[in-house]
Amino acid sequence: MTSNRTADLGFARLDLDRAGRTGTPEVVYAAGKTPTQTVACLAALLDGGARPAWATRVDDATASAILERWPDAVVDQEARCAFVGGLPAPVGNVLVLTAGTSDGPVAAEVAATLAASGVGCTRVDDVGVAGVHRVLAVAPDLAAADAVVVVAGMDGALPSVVAGLTDRLVVAVPTSVGYGAAFEGLAALLTMLTACAPGVLVVNIDNGFGAGVAAARIVRSAQR
């Protein structure tokens, strides 16, 4: 039976047993919270047993506040994530591809999420379809992966090509990279939703965290 403990901080009611129910603890979304609020949430989650306690969309001020409180916290600047309480040993292997260098921060959030979830990760950057031989060259990586995350902005065409090359599930992350008719990631989002190859599942624009959680669930599912 599931227990449903809650930590009530006044401004937040933390769901302490979410990891037990869903495999992922409640994670603090630091955007829109003060550094003090984020630290208080992390402390409560630690107290509740989360390993690691974990925040996303962490800006510099919040990162400093976390490191001041927990000097051994792990802060991943590219991913804008922070982890307190240690990272688990990784199992399995998720392949994370980016279409371009500018998609790097979102891919970093995927990788950090996998690390916090105890899942291994192979990252290959800048595999744009404008040089399709670069895509074909990742065939061995595809064969070695439990699941694939594809991060792409602008035309968002990479998942369509990758999904035609593998029987692994492809988690597609549109990014807000691009300008004009990219409409802050809308073009890539629509491309991925209408991908002509099946086996492509989509998360929100720039949502590396969600893609990482999903990929971790696939790996864990394979190990159940």
Name residues contacting a copy of itself, limited to 63-82 (CB under 8 A). Answer: none
Residues 178-197 that bind a copy of itself (CB under 8 A): 178-197
Which residues between 138 and 157 bind a copy of itself (CB under 8 A)? Answer: 146-147, 154-157
Q: How far is the CB of 166 from a copy of itself (least distance, A)?
A: 6
CB of 42 to a copy of itself, least distance (A): 13
Q: Are 212 and 203 in contact (CB under 8 A)?
A: no
Q: Which of residues 26-65 bind a copy of itself (CB under 8 A)?
A: 26-27, 29, 31-33, 37, 41
In the complex, minimum distance from the CB of residue 116 to a copy of itself, in angstroms, rounded to a whole number: 12
62 versus 191: smaller Cβ distance to a copy of itself: 191
Q: Which residue of 74, 81, 121, 171 would you call a contact of a copy of itself, by CB under 8 A?
A: 171
Q: Which residue in 71, 72, 133, 140 binds a copy of itself (CB under 8 A)?
A: 133
Residue 113 token pair: 């999420």
CB of 2 to a copy of itself, least distance (A): 8
